[in-house]
Chain A
């Protein structure tokens, strides 16, 4: 077949395909039903293969190549119907993923909770040690935030809950992202952020406990501690996953190992980010309430820990892989 009759017989089909791509979205359905796209795309690819094989003019081959390329992008673009997948992810995939990576999670937890608990213990006997870690102005601001005379806990008098919510999201989620991202530097960044945050949180907790702000401090942090601290640990575990791929890529190139490790790692970050957001919400709207009795606050905190650990250990076991 000569080029001219080939173009004449298939041209309308290509033009329709091009109009469909140009319309992009709402009006595209008027050209042909979107369900026909895969079939029409395959026919276009066949046209391209024929045109290239029969040495038709390069202009025609280029046009068909570009058209197929655009079709390829539309066909393989992001799928819709995300809601069901998001629910599935939170109920099944995420907890299963955390269980599958339990070794890294355990290491991250040790790196974070180790310094945290150690400092709380040390500061009960050597309170001045806090000054090695926290500056005098920070300590003064903690005095102000957790003074038992406050009617709101954990914030200064002028702050509102919404303002604090924004600040917690901006600050805490960023710390989580940094902890994750630092992992690509052979894990060093993740180890550093985990340990550094453990040290600082431990120092604050230990110091405020030692000076007797027990009730205000612990009733403030109890509610959101489970979500927030777990989220930091999971961010660190995701970062360590990247770091491990760089240090010990196994049988493949470092680059391929990194790409393979990034998939589960970033999925873990989705879950961690959701936990950070929930933690910020609790921290801004529940934790500062001074009118709730201490015992209730602690009870809610313990229930939170039970819920988070139960969720990560048990959710999706029936349907998930691990």
Chain B
């Protein structure tokens, strides 16, 4: 399968599939965040400079908080900064749990090094060198940036009278049958018959038409149609 997915099991028996995000979406998320930060600092500065030189202090204080602490706060509160939200990314610990302050601050403070020697060169090198697209901050914090899991949509299987499979199917096999049945509408009849023939023992010795019908029946059984 794809090499940008990681499977993590929790003690409760939940299996998480993490879809790691590469440099491009992360750079775009960073650009959005930069824009958000710039707008915040700009608005505060415009207001603050009406106060005279003291406003300079207020603007710098804002810049400091927005640069160093705000991203960490966003990540701890929601798991994502506004830019990551826009790109559908999420920061998680290596074990798939949500990040807390220490990890989030570590990765955000270490951005200072990822930026070196110019424009995130070290960060990019580290991402290419590590298996999980980790920049140096992620390496030290033990975090990964992943795609946010989308909403799960039940399979739409064309109705047919359900047929119980001749033997117990594993979860992966069940998924394969369902995925194929769902695609039946978008495949030509011949191609679908070819693919159905690959199901081996499930359709063994049947003509292609009957193999297709049988596979659709099994799919209907799997989704739990009576």
Instruction: Name the residue in A161, A165, A242, A255 with the highest tally of chain B Cβ atoms < 10 Å from its Cβ.
Output: A255
Contact of A57 with B174 in the complex, beta carbons under 8 Å: yes
Residues on the B chain within 8 Å of A167, using CB: 56-57, 60
- Distance of A24 from chain B, by nearest CB (Å): 10
Q: Is residue B197 within 8 Å, beta carbon to beta carbon, of the partner chain?
A: no
Q: Is residue B2 within 8 Å, beta carbon to beta carbon, of the partner chain?
A: no
Contact of A170 among B61, B76, B77, B140 (CB under 8 A): B61
- Distance of A163 from chain B, by nearest CB (Å): 4
Q: Is residue B202 within 8 Å, beta carbon to beta carbon, of the partner chain?
A: no
Contact of A78 with B168 in the complex, beta carbons under 8 Å: no
The interface-forming segment of B21-29, B108-116, B187-195, B209-217 is B108-116
Given contacts A52-B171, A72-B14, are A160 and B54 in contact (CB under 8 A)? yes
> What are 9 A-B contacts defined by CB distance under 8 Å?
A42-B12, A59-B223, A65-B14, A69-B149, A163-B56, A167-B60, A170-B61, A181-B111, A184-B140
Q: Mark A40-62, 1 if CB is under 8 A from B, else 0.
A: 01100100110010011111111
Residues on the B chain within 8 Å of A261, using CB: 140
Q: Is residue B127 within 8 Å, beta carbon to beta carbon, of the partner chain?
A: no
Q: Is residue B59 within 8 Å, beta carbon to beta carbon, of the partner chain?
A: yes
Contact of B141 with A58 in the complex, beta carbons under 8 Å: no
Instruction: Name the residue in B116, B141, B224 with the highest tally of chain A Cβ atoms < 10 Å from its Cβ.
Output: B224
Q: Is residue A132 within 8 Å, beta carbon to beta carbon, of the partner chain?
A: no
Residues on the A chain within 8 Å of B139, using CB: 184, 255, 258-259
Residues on the B chain within 8 Å of A174, using CB: 64, 68
Which 9 pairs across A and B sit closest by C-beta, in order of nearness? A166-B57, A166-B60, A181-B112, A163-B57, A162-B57, A259-B142, A162-B54, A262-B140, A170-B60
Residue in A closest to B51 when the chains form the complex, CB atoms: A162
Residues on the A chain within 8 Å of B204, using CB: none
Contact of A58 with B76 in the complex, beta carbons under 8 Å: no
Q: Is residue A219 within 8 Å, beta carbon to beta carbon, of the partner chain?
A: no
Residue in A closest to B14 when the chains form the complex, CB atoms: A68
Per the bound structure, the CA–CA distance linking A164 and B178 in Å amounts to 66
Q: Is the interface of A mostly helix, strand, loop or mixed?
A: helix
Contact of A55 among B60, B102, B105, B171 (CB under 8 A): B171
Residue in B closest to A171 when the chains form the complex, CB atoms: B60
Per the bound structure, the CA–CA distance linking A159 and B53 in Å amounts to 7
Binding site for A on B (CB under 8 A): 10, 12-16, 52-61, 63-64, 68, 76-77, 79, 96-98, 100-102, 105-106, 109-113, 116, 122, 136, 139-142, 149, 152, 154-155, 168-171, 174-175, 178, 222-224, 226
Contact of A258 with B140 in the complex, beta carbons under 8 Å: yes
Contact of B59 among A59, A166, A173, A177 (CB under 8 A): A166
- Distance of B83 from chain A, by nearest CB (Å): 20
Contact of B14 with A45 in the complex, beta carbons under 8 Å: yes
The interface-forming segment of A143-151, A196-204, A263-271 is A263-271
Residues on the B chain within 8 Å of A76, using CB: 97-98
Q: Is residue A115 within 8 Å, beta carbon to beta carbon, of the partner chain?
A: no
- Distance of B62 from chain A, by nearest CB (Å): 8
Residues on the B chain within 8 Å of A124, using CB: none
Q: Is residue A3 within 8 Å, beta carbon to beta carbon, of the partner chain?
A: yes
Residues on the A chain within 8 Å of B105, using CB: 266, 269-270
- Distance of B132 from chain A, by nearest CB (Å): 10
